[in-house]
Amino acid sequence: MAPGSDDEAAGGWTPFGLAARVAAAESRVQAELDAAVADAGLSDGYRLEERTRLALGESLRSMFATVEAAIRRHATRLLADRAAPGGTALRSSEEATARLIRAGLLRERALLADVIARVREDLIAETLPVAVTGPDEPSLLVRLAAAPDALVARAALALLAADSRRRDARDRGEMQVDDLSGELHRRLVWHVAAALRGDGADPVVDRALSEAVVRCLSAHDDHERGDSTALRLAAAIDPRPAEISSLLVEAIGDRRLGFFIALLAQTLSLPIEQVRTLTIDPVGDRLWLALRALGLDRTAIARIGLALADADPRRDVQAFAQQIEMIVRIPVEQAAAALAPLALPAEYHAAIRTVDRWTIR
């Protein structure tokens, strides 16, 4: 960008700069994840803040413990049925966890990216300011649960139940393993089983652990994940363009950040994982583009941006205030075009980033 150019003066919120902002945001998020994977964010520029670091550690330990207990319980029973010494054939929980860490499971990029994103979503949601409404006015999901449309009502009740289960789990210091995608859950379960395996090859133990894993996997239902439940409600509502703004603002005001993310993903036809990442990104460039792509006006974007800034100390509220006038002048079509790469298949999008990075070098 040439110094003194119109694009520079507009802070990059011009047609020429929108794609660059999206690309820069993705690069920054990936660099942050690289630092987290390397050693829990020791790089000063992308260091995990202490609150997130602690919550991440608790979540990972909870996930390991939940999976380990389920596999151990069933495998021990199978070994006892087969007259095998189940209590001594499997490693202790401490040994299994240490083996997982040494094996590099905490450096599994996809798993760490997913858990960090969910941890940050929960931390932000917990501290979002509650919108002030009338004393007798029910919350958004409660109203939707009483909707005359049976499909909407059932989906809202299911999301209320899922959110309640997640809150209960967080209160117990746990992270629901059921929130992981089927692929990540499968990978984690098999790794835990391998870590429980004792020294040497024992076909009886291996068979018991394998059968225990199959049992755990069969209990994992992608359809009942929190993301799936929220997306079903968003699809059931199928909001008209004139309705989406108020729904998004209300979701933020009710601290239903997961539903906010699902509404964005559904209406923009983007993967929910991508939308979660752009929503929790403290810089927010892609989120403002997403909101403009849906036609949100200055008031709605400001309310959402200020609420997120209140909840996330990483956000620069002054920078947001300085840019909002330029953000709301972005035409809807240009905002949608700038976000188009996010809708590509994940493997293709990742390949493009890799090739572009090495080509630029």
What is the average per-residue pLDDT within 112-118? 90
- The rounded distance, in Å, linking the Cα atoms of 294 and 24 is 22
pLDDT digits (tens, 9 = 90+) for 21-54: 887 887 778 777 766 665 544 444 456 788 888 8
pLDDT in the model for residue 224: 82
Is residue 173 over pLDDT 70?
no
Q: 269 falls in which pLDDT band (50, 70, 90)?
A: very high
Least confident segment among 2-11, 77-86, 95-104? 2-11
**The predicted structure's pLDDT at residue 175:** 65
Query: Of the candidates 115, 16, 114, 21, which has an alpha carbon nearest to the alpha carbon of residue 60?
Result: 115
**pLDDT band of 20, cuts 50, 70, 90:** confident
List Cβ<8 Å contacts ≥24 apart for 98-105: 99/195, 100/64, 100/191, 100/192, 100/195, 103/191, 103/195, 105/188, 105/191
Average pLDDT over residues 66-88: 83
| Lowest-pLDDT choice from 126-130, 200-204, 224-228 | 200-204
Q: What is the mean pLDDT of residues 141-156?
A: 96
3-state secondary structure at position 90: strand
Residues 326, 61: Cα–Cα separation, whole Å: 44
pLDDT of residue 25: 84
Q: What is the mean pLDDT of residues 282-304?
A: 95
Name the average pLDDT for the chain.
Answer: 86
- When pLDDT is averaged across residues 304-315 and rounded to a whole number, the result is 94
CA triple 113-107-93, angle to 5 deg: 105
Say if CB 248 and CB 260 are below 8 A apart.
Answer: yes
Query: Average pLDDT, stretch 294-314?
Result: 95
The answer on pLDDT for 2 being more than 60 is no
pLDDT at 112: 87
Q: Taking the model in full, what pTM does it have?
A: 0.82
pLDDT score recorded for residue 13:
76
For residues 282, 284, 286, 288, the Cα torsion angle rounded to the nearest 10 degrees is 160
Pairwise pLDDT comparison (359 vs 62), residue with the higher score: 62
Which of 68-77, 165-174, 309-318 is predicted with the least confidence, judged by mean pLDDT? Answer: 165-174
Q: What is the structure's pLDDT at 86?
A: 55
Give the per-residue pLDDT at 259: 97
Q: What are phi and psi of 197, to 5 degrees?
A: -65, 135
Q: Are 258 and 163 in contact (CB under 8 A)?
A: yes
